[in-house]
Amino acid sequence: MERSHKAAAVLGAAALALAGCAGGGGGGGGDTGPIKVGAINGVTGLFQAPEVPKAVQAVFDEVNAAGGINGRKIEYISKDDAMNPQRSTEAAVELIDSEAVVALVGSSSAVDCGLNRAKYGRAGIVSIPAVGVDPACFTSPNIAPVNPGPYKQLTAALYFLSQTKKHEKVCAYLTVLPGSGDGIENAIKEWSAVTGKRLTVKDTSVGQGDPTPYLVKAKEAGCAGIVYNSQVGPWFAQAKTQNMTAVDFVMLANSYTDANAQAIPEGLNVYSATEWQPYTDESLPGNDRWAKLVSAGGIPKTAFSQGAIMAADVFVQVVKGIRGPITRESVTKAFKEMKPVEYPLVGTPYVFGPGDAHNPVEGARFVKAENRAWRVLPEGFVIPGKG
């Protein structure tokens, strides 16, 4: 279902095209030095998204080429933590103390939020991650990602199966990573609260082994819709063997890759949630600006690079509205007091706000695996309980 937003502030495609223009009102208070902005990213290590800092830099390069913000250029300092806890904590200290950044924008580390949330609070600095992964990214006073995250996605996926696909018997077969158990439970509870429904089967013990026992159990329980978040190839090969052609399977956004589309056998009904507009269709709202920027910079076209462009755009939009010096204090105040802004890549307005937890972006779009590729479904963003 398509949501019609009525936000207090609108950040449409036309406004985004002007994001690089030098804006009045981003007062420097006589300070002509660069506006230092930091990030902690996974460029190497187990969780890699090297395109994220490159995409953020592309937005800031656009701003700087147009004269900066009130004459001040943005200096972007991204540090790679390689998913190493010590490196992540050291990076936060360096950015906050040595570099004296005014905010963190476009982070994509898998460990940053949990390790550094307290530091951000003590320093009075805000972080606007491009990709929030850790539950701490969504439950911290000073962190507000631009993506829905895995838990809002899970709620949307369950809602898609029960309300859009009209299935009574909805099941969940999930791999639970360390620290994610409470988030998964809360996502399921949110779906139940909105729909009044309960899962027919909930199995959070799915591993990397033989998927046959899980799929046999699902058939015996009559699961008509299944949310699944683990290994793609073996699971769907066995689902094909089990002749589960009438079941609707939904995966979460981490599975939305070209390689996974090619690994899914024909004849199955397999969908994936997407956090932003599906990147495989550049005609969708917001994708034109993103595609233009990343193409010009030779940056991979991925969902993560979409989040990077959005995080940088939102930062520029908010900071251009500051009256007076642009400092850590004024930037934090601006984000804590900002009005919601619509952004065409996501389903609900983005707002940071004054709360102790922030998960402002909700909902998901859905794509279906057909002919070894993804086809975008026409429903628009599916937002549980809204629309």
Q: What is the pLDDT of residue 23?
A: 34
Residues 121 and 55 in one domain: yes
Residues 142 and 156 in one domain: no
Residues 194 and 247 in one domain: yes
Residues 122 and 210 in one domain: no
CA dihedral 344, 346, 352, 357 (to 10 degrees): 170
Q: Where residue 385 falls among pLDDT bands split at 50, 70, 90?
A: confident
Q: What is the pLDDT of residue 31?
A: 67
What range defines the domain where residue 270 resides?
Answer: 149-274+365-376
Q: What is the pLDDT of residue 284?
A: 96
Q: What is the pLDDT of residue 40?
A: 98
Residues 172 and 82 in one domain: no
Residues 56 and 105 in one domain: yes
Q: Is the pLDDT of residue 14 over 90?
A: no
Average of per-residue pLDDT across 213-233: 96
Q: What is the pLDDT of residue 304?
A: 95
Q: 24: which residues sit within 8 A by CB, 6+ positions away?
A: 70
Average of per-residue pLDDT across 290-300: 97
Q: Is the pLDDT of residue 2 over 60?
A: no
Q: Where residue 17 falls among pLDDT bands split at 50, 70, 90?
A: very low
Q: Is the pLDDT of residue 10 over 60?
A: no
Residue ranges with strand state E in 181-295: 201-203, 225-228, 248-251, 269-274
Average of per-residue pLDDT across 314-325: 97
Q: Which amino acid is at 147?
A: N
Q: Where residue 255 falls among pLDDT bands split at 50, 70, 90?
A: very high
Residues 234 and 105 in one domain: no
CA dihedral 219, 225, 230, 236 (to 10 degrees): 60
Q: What is the pLDDT of residue 29?
A: 35
Residues 48 and 82 in one domain: yes
Q: Where residue 210 falls among pLDDT bands split at 50, 70, 90?
A: very high
Residues 104 and 127: beta-carbon distance below 8 Å: yes
Q: Is the pLDDT of residue 7 over 60?
A: no
Q: Any idea what the CATH number is for the domain that residue 370 is in?
A: 3.40.50.2300
